């Protein structure tokens, strides 16, 4: 009963701070902190190689990826979805006129 040790449910896996700051400096020096920068392109290429697929596209968030997928697949008509989904599910359907 005297042990007050904290038990965490999750704990972040963080990179070495010095290594991270070196990578951050590369981003800072490039002055490119939005989509399609060097690290973005590198991750897409390496993921495509790892997954053995010709292309991978990274998105800022799940909402944009759902909007794009619905448009690429030309989904139309009515869709039944669960009321216990993230709000982006319904929003992307509505934004695509589905």
Model pLDDT for residues 64-90, shown as the tens digit of each residue: 999 999 999 999 999 888 878 888 888
Question: What's the pTM?
Answer: 0.65
* 3 state DSSP class of 35: coil
Residue 30 lies in a domain: no
In a domain, 21, yes or no: no
Domain count, the chain: 1
Q: How far is CA 24 from CA 9, 13, 29, 44, in A?
A: 29, 17, 9, 18
60 within 8 A of 35, measured Cβ to Cβ: yes
Residue 28 domain flag: no
Q: Which domain holds residue 68?
A: 37-95
Decide if 13 is inside a domain.
no
**4, part of any domain:** no
pLDDT tens digit string along 6-26? 888 888 889 899 999 999 999
Confidence class of residue 4 from pLDDT cuts 50, 70 and 90?
confident
CB 52 within 8 A of CB 43: no
pLDDT digits (tens, 9 = 90+) for 25-53: 999 999 988 788 899 999 999 999 999 99
Is residue 18 situated within a structural domain? Answer: no
């Amino acid at each position: 009963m005297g042990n007050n040790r904290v038990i965490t449910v999750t704990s972040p896996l963080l990179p070495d701070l010095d290594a991270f700051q070196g990578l951050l400096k590369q981003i800072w020096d490039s002055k490119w902190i939005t989509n399609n920068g060097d690290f973005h392109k590198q991750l897409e290429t390496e993921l495509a190689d790892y997954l053995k697929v010709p292309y991978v596209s990274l998105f800022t968030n799940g909402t944009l990826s759902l909007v794009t997928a619905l448009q690429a697949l030309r989904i139309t008509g009515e869709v039944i979805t669960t009321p216990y989904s993230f709000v982006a599910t319904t929003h992307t359907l509505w934004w695509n006129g589905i």
